[in-house]
Amino acid sequence: MVDILYEDNHIIVVIKPKGILSQADGSNHDDMLTIIKDYIKEKYNKPGNVYLGLVHRLDINTSGVMVFAKTSKAASRLNESIKDHSFKKRYIATVEGEIWNDDYLELVNYLNKDENLKKSFVSPNGKEAKLKYKRLKVYKINDITVSDVDIILETGRFHQIRCQMANIGHPLYGDKKYGSKIEINKEELPLTAYYLEFPHPTTKEILSFNIGDKS
C-alpha cells in the first residue's frame, strides 16, 4: 500500500516508511522505486517497463516525504531545483543530550563517505555539508535526556544529519554507528523527513508537504 500525498501526470509524492530502501541495492529489502512502479503499472494498466525517476533518497532507517518523477523532463527539472536550492527539506530528529538553542544554528563540516563501513566521517578533504538546527523540546527516554530538534538540510551528503549531530556530541538516540551506547532497532532511528518543498516541474507552482507535528 503506497501512502500518496500528491500525484499528477508529472510527479508523485509519497511517504516512505522506515525499513524500506529508496532504491534497490541488491539486498532483500523492499524499495520505494519498485513499489511505486508496480503501483503505477497496476493503476494505469501499463504494459512493459514504467519510467520513474529517483530524484533524492532517504536512508532505509529514515521515514518521510519523497517525490518521484513520472517523466524524464520532470526528473531533469527537479534535479535543477536541487542544484539551485529551491528544493527544501526539513527533518525532525531525536538526539541524545540537551540542545540549548531555540533559534537556528548552522553546522558546516566536510564529510567523507567510507564505502566499506557505510559511514561518513568529518574530514578536511571531504565534501561540504551544511544544516541548520534548533531545539523543539527536551525530555527523557528511560532516564536518558534527549532533545527533539528541527533540522533544515542545506546539502545532501550520506548520513549527513547523523554524522554532523554526532560530531557536536549529540548522536541520534540509539544510533550506535555514530557513537550512541543505547540499544534500539537500527531500522527505527528517530529521524523523519517531515517537510518537502519544491517548484512543480511544469507549472512552477511552489508545492509543500508537511507531515510533522512540531507542537
Cell of 63: 521515514
SS3 content of the chain, % helix, strand, coil (to 5): 20, 40, 45
- Among 196, 9, 208, 215, residue whose Cα is nearest residue 89: 196
Which residues are identified as catalytic? Answer: 59
Cell 497496476 belongs to which residue? 42
Cβ count within 10 A of residue 59: 21
Longest dimension (CA), the chain: 55
Look up residue 23 and give its DSSP letter: S
Q: Is 164 helix (H, G, I), strand (E, B) or coil?
A: helix
CA distance 208 to 199: 9
